[in-house]
Amino acid sequence: NAGVTQTPKFQVLKTGQSMTLQCAQDMNHEYMSWYRQDPGMGLRLIHYSVGAGITDQGEVPNGYNVSRSTTEDFPLRLLSAAPSQTSVYFCASSSRLGPYSNQPQHFGDGTRLSIL
C-alpha cells in the first residue's frame, strides 16, 4: 500500500529559486496538511486542506503556497526559497475530520530540503 507519497526525497536549491514539493495519497482522505521539522524540534504546521478547493494557513505559512485541485494531491510551493526554509517537510493525510472525530493522521517519509 502506497499511503502518503512525497517527492522528491532530497533537494538542494539556491536562494531565490522556486520549487514544488509533491504530496499524493491513495486513501481517499479529505484532510491533508504540510508540516516542517527543524533540527531538534517537533513538527510545525504550514498549511492544511479539509477538501478539494479548500485550504487554510497553519502556524508558519509565510513563504509557502498551496492549492488542492484534487482529493489525492496537495503540492507545497516555495516561490522564492530562503535559507530559513532549510528543513524537512512532511505531508500528512487523514479521513474526514469533524466534531468528535479522532482519525489518526498518516505521514509521508519527508522531503529533505537545503537552501544555499
Partner 1 sequence: DAKTTQPNSMESNEEEPVHLPCNHSTISGTDYIHWYRQLPSQGPEYVIHGLTSNVNNRMASLAIAEDRKSSTLILHRATLRDAAVYYCILRDVRGSQGNLIFGKGTKLSVKP
Residues of the shown chain interacting with partner 1 in the complex, contacts defined by CB under 8 A: 4, 31, 33, 35, 40-45, 48, 50, 56, 58, 90, 92, 94, 97-110
Which is closer to partner 1, CB of 17 or CB of 112?
Answer: 112
Shortest Å distance, C-beta 113 to partner 1: 14
Shortest Å distance, C-beta 14 to partner 1: 25
Q: How far apart are CA 99 and CA 86, in angstroms?
A: 35
Which is closer to partner 1, CB of 43 or CB of 76?
Answer: 43
Shortest Å distance, C-beta 13 to partner 1: 20
